[in-house]
A and B are shown apart, each in its own frame.
Chain A
Amino acid sequence: ETGVTQSPTHLIKTRGQQVTLRCSSQSGHNTVSWYQQALGQGPQFIFQYYREEENGRGNFPPRFSGLQFPNYSSELNVNALELDDSALYLCASRVFGSYEQYFGPGTRLTVT
């Protein structure tokens, strides 16, 4: 166990709906990154949060947004869901500046 938790474990949504995924970082970790992993692919970087602000973003549209809270936990919000958003969503936490990041178990999102 890495100490990083995610909720929910699984989620089924309909196209056009909105979804919020949650991540609790490992104790002492102030940086959280979110990744999207399609079936059979490697994780794709969505964005990173540090000090409650977005600190780096991958090639994802604005309907993917996030938040980081004072306790370093984080949310990933996706609006106007599309079928291609179906994937495993991973969050990873670390201490800012460290290259050692720890992944949560992921949330499996299915969009129908």
Chain B
Amino acid sequence: KNQVEQSPQSLIILEGKNCTLQCNYTVSPFSNLRWYKQDTGRGPVSLTIMTFSENTKSNGRYTATLDADTKQSSLHITASQLSDSASYICVVSAVYGGNQFYFGTGTSLTVIP
């Protein structure tokens, strides 16, 4: 069964600290993995996308890693800001038509002053 699991479910960190979010998946055949940031009540916005051959991808203070062998990904946030408070969703795409997007349930991050 194609699944995407994220941990932790929620996280609270102090402003300026770093944090790492985890994503494990069983989607096959794998095409790519994407991390989204979703502010409360808003649509998700793409942060990074990685294909099978990519191990790491950065977007400013966000760095995503991918280990296709162990089917794990992480999103590292450096020097967190209050505006980073949001839900972070891992989405894995499979290589076939129709619904090929599998969503994790997200990690809710709260950055406090």
Check A48–B104 contact: CB distance below 8 A: no
Kindly list chain B residues whose C-beta atoms are within 8 Å of the C-beta of A43: 44, 89, 103
Residue pair B99, A106 in contact (C-beta under 8 Å): no
For B28, what are the chain A residues with a Cβ–Cβ distance below 8 Å?
none
Residue of A nearest to B44 (CB): A103
Give the total number of A-B pairs whose CB atoms are below 8 A apart.
58
A79 interfacial by beta-carbon distance below 8 Å:
no
Please measure, in the bound complex, the distance between the C-alpha atom of A106 and the C-alpha atom of B40, giving whole angstroms: 11
* B interface bracket (residues with beta carbon within 8 Å of A): 20 to 34
* Cβ contact within 8 Å between B93 and A99: yes
Q: Is the CB of B32 within 8 A of A99?
A: yes
The one of B32, B41, B44, B98 in contact with A55, judged by C-beta atoms closer than 8 angstroms, is B98
Q: Provided the pairs A42-B89, A42-B106 are in contact, do residues A103 and B101 lie with their beta carbons within 8 angstroms?
A: no
State whether A99 and B49 are in contact (beta carbons under 8 Å apart), knowing that A43-B103, A56-B99, A58-B99 are contacts in the complex.
Answer: yes
Chain B window 32-65, contacts with chain A (Cβ cutoff 8 Å), 1 for yes, 0 for no: 1010100001111110010000000000000000
Size range of the interface on A? 20 to 34
Complex CA distance for A103 and B4, rounded to whole angstroms: 19
8 cross-chain CB contacts under 8 A: A43-B44, A43-B89, A57-B98, A57-B99, A99-B93, A103-B45, A105-B42, A106-B42
- A-side residues, CB < 8 A to B, are 2, 4, 33, 35, 40-45, 48, 55-58, 88, 90, 92, 99-106, 108
